[in-house]
A and B are shown apart, each in its own frame.
Chain A
Amino acid sequence: MSLSAGLGVILKRDLQLAFRNRGDLINPLVFFLLVASLFPLGVGPSSDVLLIMGGGVVWVSALLANLLAMDSLFRSDYEDGSLEQLMLSPTPLWMVAMTKVLAHWLVTGLPITLLAPVIAVMFGLPSQALPAVVMTLLLGTPMLSLIGAIGAGLTVGLRKGGILLSLLTLPLYIPVLILGTGAIDAAVNELPWHAHLMWQGVLVVLGVTFAPLAIGASLRVSVSG
């Protein structure tokens, strides 16, 4: 079987598994909406405050929802031993890891991105900011998934990996968050926001280049340890 066909099989399998577990698919989205709607309840419904906070709230909620979903990225494969099988296969581990991250992003990051404008509207963000919300999340959530996958790989063998995972990954999420909310802020104030987007692109290129190696190494540590 060729390399791309093998990766295709992994991708298809992961997507199929995700769609069979509807709960796992929907839960991060519900969480995303829920966290975002806590903010107005916490700070009051004044539209000026919500407008200032909007971009940040969308991003922080997306980030937390992504983190919540991250714990399950390798968990079931680790527990039923299929991760070990994948590591024994001739396909380079970093490619396998990339494919799994892609599949995971397709079922978590992408839906979150598509849902984000709804929350942005609920926070009263002006319509010129909506493209910025979607674009920054479209570039940002893959980055979150890549960084989170390193942490998920490191903690997959641990019984209580969840809280540790957030401790490891959240500090590394900060640059992505800053760039994302910066772009949305600029768009809200009718300033050009393409520069922010390009910097996010830089991060994604860096992430796609280096993160797979780190994910592969961390999986190797967890499985062999």
Chain B
Amino acid sequence: MKWTYFHRMASPKWFYDFSGKILPWVGVLALVLVAGGLTWGLLFTQPDYLQGNSYRIIFLHVPSASLAMTVYVGLAVAASIGFIWKIKLADMAVSCLAPIGASFCALALVTGAIWGKPTWGTWWVWDARLTSMLILLFLYFGLIALREAFDSRETASRACAILAMVGVVNIPIIKYSVEWWNTLHQGSTIRITEESTMAMEMLIPLLMSIAGFYLFCLFVFLLRIRAEILSREQRTKWVRHLLGANS
């Protein structure tokens, strides 16, 4: 493979064309998987013998929690690529990923809390996983707020890149320290669930829903970054040509 391939991939125009081609496929597949997984989980599976019907929330909760984590790591990878090689496209990816990740992080938290009410009898438990998800949400808020604070796009993306890299180094430290803190004060908490082998019947819709959420995330990410490309490249010929704004 030639190196020029990577350079081409980093060019906004190439990416705009390429993402336009895969966009419908990603969208349709995401729709099918999300709709299928959620409907299956919601309507057709047996209730859990311990948690009853409230366990149906996991078909939403698990995918969004997993996405929240993955998106932050992806964001940090994009941030370091953008920071080191000064690739514009990577900067755009960082700015597009932050709100998506934050929204799924918030969804994971809220669904976790709602699930806790019938299961634990309380809305919020300072459980290790919920707590680190809350901290992750704060990290997302920090990134979004920092980007908003700068007037210049260039400065904002470099500042956000540094913050994202610092954040991703800290995530494992935060995660382990929160877990350790949780075991230390075990008296006040309840364990989330027994490590149970999940029935096939529940696992398949869950996996479907996870795959669907990831694809959905990819889909909306592509939508966002395409808008961002148009906005940042609006003075170039190809964008003006594309939108029929050529004089």
A–B proximity contact (CB within 8 A) = yes
Contacts of A161 in B (CB 8 A): 149
Contacts of B177 in A (CB 8 A): 174-175, 178-179
Contacts of B180 in A (CB 8 A): 178, 182
B162–A158 contact, CB under 8 A? no
B145–A164 contact, CB under 8 A? yes
A171–B159 contact, CB under 8 A? no
Contacts of B135 in A (CB 8 A): 171, 174
A221–B158 contact, CB under 8 A? yes
Chain B residues within CB distance 8 Å of chain A:
135, 138-139, 141-142, 145-146, 149-150, 152, 154-155, 158-159, 162-163, 165-167, 169-170, 173-174, 177-178, 180-181, 184
A66 on the B face (CB < 8 A):
no
CB distance from A160 to the nearest CB of B (A): 8
Docked complex: A170-224 residues within 8 A CB-CB of B: 170-172, 174-175, 178-179, 182, 185, 203, 210, 214, 217-218, 221-222, 224
* Interface bits A49-91 vs B (CB < 8 Å: 1, else 0): 0000000000000000000000000000000000000000000
Residue of A nearest to B142 (CB): A168
Expressed in whole angstroms, the Cα–Cα distance for A184 and B178 within the complex equals 17
- Whether A154 contacts B170 in the complex (CB less than 8 A), given A164-B146, A178-B177, comes out as no
* Interface bits A138-159 vs B (CB < 8 Å: 1, else 0): 0000000000001000110110
A174–B142 contact, CB under 8 A? no
A155–B178 contact, CB under 8 A? no
A3 on the B face (CB < 8 A):
no
Expressed in whole angstroms, the Cα–Cα distance for A164 and B174 within the complex equals 20
Extra A-B contacts (6), CB below 8 Å, given A179-B177, A222-B155? A158-B150, A167-B138, A172-B170, A172-B174, A178-B178, A218-B162
A171–B163 contact, CB under 8 A? no
- Whether A217 contacts B162 in the complex (CB less than 8 A), given A168-B146, A174-B177, A179-B177, comes out as yes
B138–A171 contact, CB under 8 A? yes
Expressed in whole angstroms, the Cα–Cα distance for A178 and B184 within the complex equals 10
Contacts of B149 in A (CB 8 A): 155, 158, 160-161, 164
Secondary structure dominating the interface of A: helix
A168–B162 contact, CB under 8 A? no
A150–B173 contact, CB under 8 A? no
CB distance from A110 to the nearest CB of B (A): 24
A154–B146 contact, CB under 8 A? yes
Expressed in whole angstroms, the Cα–Cα distance for A185 and B155 within the complex equals 43
7 tightest CB-CB pairs across the interface, nearest first? Answer: A225-B155, A175-B177, A171-B138, A168-B142, A178-B177, A178-B181, A221-B158
A150–B142 contact, CB under 8 A? no
Number of chain A residues close to chain B: CB under 8 A: 28
- Interface centre among B149, B155, B158, by most A CB within 10 Å? B149
A172–B166 contact, CB under 8 A? yes
A175–B166 contact, CB under 8 A? no
* Interface bits A108-128 vs B (CB < 8 Å: 1, else 0): 000000000000000000000
A170–B159 contact, CB under 8 A? no
B181–A214 contact, CB under 8 A? no
B167–A172 contact, CB under 8 A? yes
Contacts of A150 in B (CB 8 A): 162-163, 166
Residue in B139, B162, B169 whose beta carbon sits within 8 Å of that of A221 in the complex: B162
CB distance from A172 to the nearest CB of B (A): 5
A214–B166 contact, CB under 8 A? yes
Residue of B nearest to A159 (CB): B149
Residue of A nearest to B137 (CB): A171
B155–A221 contact, CB under 8 A? yes
Expressed in whole angstroms, the Cα–Cα distance for A185 and B169 within the complex equals 27
**A-B contacts, 19 listed (Cβ < 8 Å):** A150-B166, A154-B159, A155-B146, A164-B146, A167-B141, A167-B142, A168-B163, A171-B138, A174-B178, A175-B173, A175-B174, A178-B180, A182-B180, A182-B184, A210-B169, A214-B165, A218-B162, A221-B158, A225-B158
Residue in A172, A182, A203, A218 whose beta carbon sits within 8 Å of that of B159 in the complex: A218
Contacts of B158 in A (CB 8 A): 221, 225
CB distance from B150 to the nearest CB of A (A): 7
Contacts of A175 in B (CB 8 A): 170, 173-174, 177
Contacts of A203 in B (CB 8 A): 173
Expressed in whole angstroms, the Cα–Cα distance for A157 and B158 within the complex equals 13
Contacts of A174 in B (CB 8 A): 135, 174, 177-178
Docked complex: A21-38 residues within 8 A CB-CB of B: none
- Interface centre among B158, B159, B167, B178, by most A CB within 10 Å? B159
